[in-house]
Amino acid sequence: MDCFSLETHSKDETMELGHKIASLLPNGSTLTFTGDLGAGKTTFVRGLARGLGITETVQSPTFNIMKIYMKGSRPLIHIDAYRLADIDTDIGLDEYIGYETGLTVIEWPEFIERLIPDNRIEVTILNKGGDNRSISIKSKDLKVLEGIKSCL
């Protein structure tokens, strides 16, 4: 597993990061987003969505658990597993994770750990106070990681 980190200093910078890397992610990629409430997980996903040409408003699907955006260059599947903590009910999410022709992004992956593929791209966001965030991106897929690194 290789990893690199960077800092952002505003929500726009975090969105920009998502925007920039969107086109570098192969179809079928699963990205997980770990970090406290307000860390910036959804902000990053918003940037990714813009990078895919999705113009709809993107919010954490905390209540609905999953929201699918079909109007971009490829489908974006946005999962927020927060409400699945301690629930052992099969709601068929596995069919959407690693969706072959799109991207899957998952907030609170720790609650559905068993459903997440090994080749995930792990984004961890740490609130460093104020508008500063430390963002680390980790993956076993060194090619994808190199691609991301070199576009920043």
Minimum CB distance to ligand ADP, residue 90 (Å): 25
Residue 143 burial by Cβ neighbours in a 10 Å radius (0-12, 13-18, 19+): exposed
Strand arrangement, sheet containing 121-127: 2-8, 133-139, 121-127, 30-34, 103-107, 76-80, 66-69
Q: Is 32 in the site for Mg ion (CB under 5 A)?
A: no
Q: Is 78 in the site for Mg ion (CB under 5 A)?
A: no
Q: In the set 26, 27, 38, 91, which binds ligand ADP (CB under 6 A)?
A: 38
Number of residues this chain uses to bind ligand ADP (CB under 6 A): 18
Mark 70-99 with x for binding to ligand ADP (rule: CB under 6 A) and - for no binding: ------------------------------
Q: Is 14 in the site for Mg ion (CB under 5 A)?
A: no
Q: Which is nearer to ligand ADP, 10 or 27 (CB)?
A: 10
Q: Is 29 in the site for ligand ADP (CB under 6 A)?
A: no
Q: Is 61 in the site for ligand ADP (CB under 6 A)?
A: no
Minimum CB distance to ligand ADP, residue 48 (Å): 12
Q: In the set 16, 131, 141, 146, which binds ligand ADP (CB under 6 A)?
A: 131
Of 65-73, 83-91, 107-115, 118-126, the segment contacting Mg ion by CB under 5 A is 107-115
